[in-house]
């Protein structure tokens, strides 16, 4: 698949077939994450692959009932939980190198996008899930204090195509030479 076609064709998938995801496919997805860029190549990301239906159901209880991705958490054969090691990205000798502090959200965000695009190029569906009780998920999965859960995605073969929500026009977010937005 051509890169632009992959970028534009990827959709958030909230309905999944029960068909399993092969170990080979999972290996390829992890390989894609592995080659994501990161702050000083610190690679703060950590990935938890959840297949156990009981744990998936527990994870689903951390989502508000109004979250449109709720049913996909148990419907998809796998749930991928993206975590980040704290105090690594954006730090030099233990000190934050910029006013932004921890770049964990940024680096795990890139890793998640790499994961989702690769999955799409392989015919697999994903939906980034960010609206949930993070503390609850950390407890369920036994995530230690020095790491945190950032986002999750169900992973499996799409049962629907998904509709592309409208995008802003470049003129609404691209400025030349100086910031001219509002
Ligand atoms: C950081 C982040 C958090 C998101 N959280 C949720 C979520 O909790 N539930 C959900 O159904 N979709 C969630 N989404 C998916 C967005 O709604 C979706 O990407 C957006 O509407 C654009 O649609 P598209 O992915 O099909 O292009 C999230 C996306 C991102 C990037």
Residue 112 and residue 82 in contact, taking contact as beta carbons nearer than 8 Å: yes
- Residue 116 contacts residue 151 (beta carbons within 8 Å): no
**Per-residue pLDDT in tens (0 to 9) along the chain, 182 residues:** 699 999 999 999 999 999 999 999 999 999 999 999 999 999 999 999 999 999 999 999 999 999 999 999 999 999 999 999 999 999 999 999 999 999 999 999 999 999 999 999 999 999 999 999 999 999 999 999 999 999 999 999 999 998 999 999 999 999 999 999 99
Taking alpha carbons only, the member of 156, 84, 86, 95 closest to residue 120 is 156
Q: What does pTM read for this prediction?
A: 0.97
Query: In ligand 1, which atom is closest to the CA atom of 112?
Result: 31
Q: Count the residues in the chain.
A: 182
| Alpha helix stretches (DSSP H) within 1-132 | 3-9, 23-34, 53-60, 72-75, 104-121
**DSSP run (H or E) holding 47:** strand 45-50
152 in ligand 1 pocket by Cβ < 6 Å? no
């Amino acid at each position: 698949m051509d890169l632009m076609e992959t970028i534009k064709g990827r959709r958030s998938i909230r309905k999944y077939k029960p068909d399993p995801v092969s170990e080979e496919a999972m290996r390829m997805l992890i390989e894609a994450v592995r080659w994501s860029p990161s702050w000083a190549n610190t690679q703060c990301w950590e990935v938890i692959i959840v297949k156990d239906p009981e744990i998936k159901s527990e994870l689903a209880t951390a989502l508000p009932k109004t979250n449109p991705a709720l049913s996909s958490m148990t419907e998809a054969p796998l749930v991928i939980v993206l975590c980040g090691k704290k105090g690594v990205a954006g730090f030099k000798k233990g000190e934050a190198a910029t006013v932004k502090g921890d770049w964990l959200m940024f680096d795990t965000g890139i890793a998640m996008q790499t994961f989702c695009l690769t999955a799409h190029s392989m015919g697999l569906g994903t939906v980034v899930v960010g609206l949930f009780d993070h503390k609850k998920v950390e407890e369920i999965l036994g995530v230690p204090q020095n790491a945190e859960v950032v986002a999750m995605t169900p992973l499996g073969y799409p049962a629907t195509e998904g509709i592309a929500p409208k995008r802003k026009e470049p003129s609404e977010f691209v400025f030349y030479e100086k910031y001219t937005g509002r």
